[in-house]
Amino acid sequence: MSRAELNPSTAVGKMIGVLDLQGDVFEHLDHLERLSVTVRPVKKAEDFEGLAGLILPGGESTCLARLLKIFGIDKVIVGKFQEGMKLWGTCAGAILLAKSVVGEAPHLGLIDIAVERNGFGSQMDSFVSEASIPRLSGTPVPLTFIRAPKILSVGKGVEVLLSIDDYIAAAESPDVLVTIFHPELTPSLAFHRYFARKCGIKTGGKERAIDPAWDKTSWMRLARITPMERRSAEPLTKGLRQEIDYGNPERI
């Protein structure tokens, strides 16, 4: 039994929310729906009712931090967290949750890690790779890093899930999960399944490493995007270089 299953959420509710202020919202919603998990985009204080867990998605951490304060959502997150709601921060979300941020004041400070923004460089230094994470999957997990931060160290009560070279890429406390990469931008459901179980929520479907029905435009079914916009986006995505093809050379 995993640590996530040993520490299920004590919050009332069997739903996971995705903070819907900026960033990769629809991509997370899509992955959770593939696991038959009830999900909700979260914009206002009332949207937190009934949540067992909340995902703080990747995006732009400075923008997200300002929006959290402007709308008073930061205080709601802390309050619900204290009541037992689990949290998962991806990329920018990990920065928001960190207790220490190099060169700036911390934001929510709900997990004892130190992070460095733009740890790999600029947007041009984004990359993809894969790694073995036995606790989550029996096969390598695809990783997508986009102007990613680095976790430099973890404090007491925080366990490292994935360490690469001189940095930590994924870590967790009993109540918080952080990843500096974007699982929602890959066909892997491993991290979303893991977080759901951390929240005490059962997932549906086969426990396979890769969802063969996923593709780079899957999230669009949840977004307000017209057929013309969808067609306009496809040539751009197909033109991007991808080092890992997940069995399909046209996927990015």
Pairing of strands 159-164, 167-172: antiparallel
- The sign of the dihedral angle between the CA atoms of 58, 32, 6, 14 is positive
Distance from C-alpha of 224 to C-alpha of 40, rounded to nearest angstrom: 16
Neighbours of 227 (CB within 10 A): 8
Of residues 28, 31, 107, 182, which has the active-site annotation? Answer: 182
Residue 67 parent element (H or E): helix 61-70
Q: Are 2 and 137 in contact (CB under 8 A)?
A: no
Neighbours of 17 (CB within 10 A): 27
Q: Are 105 and 96 in contact (CB under 8 A)?
A: no
Please indicate whether residue 182 is annotated as part of the active site: yes
Q: Are 173 and 142 in contact (CB under 8 A)?
A: no
Please indicate whether residue 91 is annotated as part of the active site: yes
Please indicate whether residue 199 is annotated as part of the active site: no
Of residues 27, 184, 192, 199, which has the active-site annotation? Answer: 184
Distance linking the first and last C-alpha atoms of the chain: 34
Distance from C-alpha of 37 to C-alpha of 201, rounded to nearest angstrom: 8
Q: Report the C-alpha dihedral over residues 119, 143, 231, 40, rounded to 10 degrees.
A: -90
Of residues 91, 116, 172, 199, which has the active-site annotation? Answer: 91
The residues that are catalytic are 91, 182, 184
